[in-house]
Amino acid sequence: MHLLDENATLAMGERLAHGLPASLTIYLVGDLGAGKTTFSRGLLRGLGHTGKVKSPTYTLVEPYKDSRIVVYHFDFYRFTHATEFLEAGLEEYFQGDGIRLVEWPDRAHPFLPAADLEIRLQVDPSGGRTLTLRPLSREGEKCLQNLDTSAPPT
């Protein structure tokens, strides 16, 4: 799916938020500047968060507890070894309810729990972004079935 600009990326995140269950792990995959944090911002907005959304590059995780579902936004870009995931004690966030948005999941492999949904964003050479949504579990499939596709992203 083609996303024309930042507003379309935000809107797509918002639309996905409407069909999210209480617990889901989402991998956000893409190069630097591909729009992973922008997509996350839209998703959080769709869940009712009204505050700022910043990239958790330096904090590793940013919790958002003021939306209809608790969201944990992770960024493992700075990991030099996957064991840093365990050393930071982050595995506890992957138990129980909550939406877990994970940027740079490959940097925590093999310790990171499996994703329910993979969202891949790529910069399109002709402008905008290319978005690919891939369900990786039954919950991920349900999430995409609930996605409002009536209004294409602009």
- As a whole number of angstroms, the distance between CA 119 and CA 38 comes to 12
DSSP-derived letter for residue 124 is: -
Is 90 exceeded by the pLDDT of residue 150?
A: no
> What would the pLDDT profile of 44-101 be if each residue is shown by its tens digit?
999 888 888 877 766 788 888 876 789 999 999 989 999 999 999 999 999 888 999 9
Mean pLDDT score, 140-148:
84
> What would the pLDDT profile of 2-25 be if each residue is shown by its tens digit?
888 889 899 999 999 888 888 999
Least confident of 56-65, 101-110, 114-123, 136-145: 56-65
- pLDDT category at 146 given cuts 50, 70, 90 is confident
- pLDDT category at 148 given cuts 50, 70, 90 is low
- Domains of the chain, earliest start first: 2-112 (3.40.50.300)
Long-range (24+ apart) CB contacts under 8 A made by 36-39 are 36/103, 36/119, 36/121, 37/75, 37/103, 38/6, 38/9, 38/10, 38/13, 39/9, 39/10, 39/12, 39/13, 39/119, 39/121, 39/131
For the chain, the distance separating the N- and C-terminal CA atoms, rounded to the nearest angstrom, is: 11
- Whole-number pLDDT of residue 53: 81
